[in-house]
Structure 1
Amino acid sequence: MAKDRVERERYIVKVLEKAMRVLDEYSPQENAFTLDALTKRTGLSKPAVYRILRTMEKNGYIRYDRSDGLYRLGLRFLELGSSVFSSTSIRKSASPHLDSIARSLKATVLVGVILEDQFSYIDKREGNSILRIPSLLGAKMPPNDSFLGLTLLAFMDPPERKRLLKLYPLKKHTESSPRTLGEIEAELTRTRQQGYLLEQGGFYEGVVQVGVPIMGATGEVVAALGVCLQEFRVTNKTRREIVKQVKETAKLLSAELGFRAPSDGAEVLRSRTAGRLPNGAAG
Structure 2
Amino acid sequence: MRDVKMNSIRSIDRAIDILESFNNEISNLSIDEIVSHTKLAKTTVYRMLYTLEKRGLIRYDKETATYFLGLKLLDLAGNLNSITSLKTLAVPLLIEMQQKTQQTVMMVVPDGDTMIYVFTCENSVGLKYSSYTGQRRSMNYGVIGKIFMAYAEQEQRERLLNLPISSHTKKTVSNVNEIMKQLQSILEQGYHVELEETNPGVHGISAPILDKNNKCIAAIGLLGPSVQLIGDELERCKSILVETSHQISLQIPSQFSF
TM bracket, shorter-chain basis? 0.5 to 0.7
Residue of structure 2 in register with 1:241 after alignment: 236
Which residue identity is paired with 1:193? E
Q: Which residue of 199, 202, 227 maps to 1:232?
A: 227
Q: How many Å separate the matches in 1 of 2:241 and 2:165?
A: 27
Q: CA RMSD in A?
A: 2.7
Q: Counterpart in 1 of 2:109?
A: 113
Q: Distance in 2 between matches of 1:152 and 1:243?
A: 18
Q: Does 1:178 align with 2:173?
A: yes
Contact 1:110 1:125 in 2 (8 A): yes
Give the superposition deviation at 1:189.
Answer: 1.9
Larger RCO (CA under 8 A, 6+ residues apart): 1
- In the TM superposition, what is the alpha-carbon distance from 1:254 to its structure 2 partner? 1.3
| Counterpart residue number, 1:125 | 121
Deviation digits for residues 188-227 of structure 1 (CA, Å, limit 9, x no counterpart): 2222222111000001111110000001233311110110
Q: 1:145 to 1:96 in 2, by over 3 A?
A: same
Separation (CA, whole Å) in 2 of partners of 1:218 and 1:193 = 17
Equivalents in 1 of 2:143, 2:155: separation in Å?
20
Deviation at 1:178, TM superposition (A): 1.0
Q: CA offsets per residue over residues 81-125 of structure 1, 9 Å max, x none?
A: xx66522x4313322111111011001001112112111111111
Q: TM-score, normalised to structure 1's length?
A: 0.57
- 2:184 counterpart (182, 189, 208): 189
Partner of residue 143 from structure 2, selected from 118, 130, 147:
147
Residue equivalent to 1:162: 158
* 8 Å Cα contact 2:115/2:139 also seen in 1: yes
For residue 184 of structure 1, report the CA deviation from its aligned partner: 1.8
Cα distance in 2, alignment partners of residues 213 and 144 from structure 1: 15
Q: Is the 8 A contact 2:107 2:218 kept in 1?
A: yes
Matched, 1:214 2:232: no
Contact 2:122 2:130 in 1 (8 A): no
Do the aligned partners of residues 134 and 172 (structure 1) sit closer, same or farther apart at CA in structure 2, a change above 3 Å counting? farther
Q: Deviations over 1:223-270 (max 9, x none)?
A: 1011012212233322322111101111221133226xxxxxxxxxxx
Structure 1 counterpart of 2:249: 254
- What is the alpha-carbon distance in structure 1 between the residues aligned to residue 244 and residue 81 of structure 2? 18
Q: Which residue of 1 aligns with 2:46?
A: none
Q: Answer yes or no: is the 8 Å Cα contact 2:208–2:245 preserved in 1.
A: yes
In structure 2, relative to structure 1, the CA distance for the partners of 1:186 and 1:90 (3 Å cut) is closer
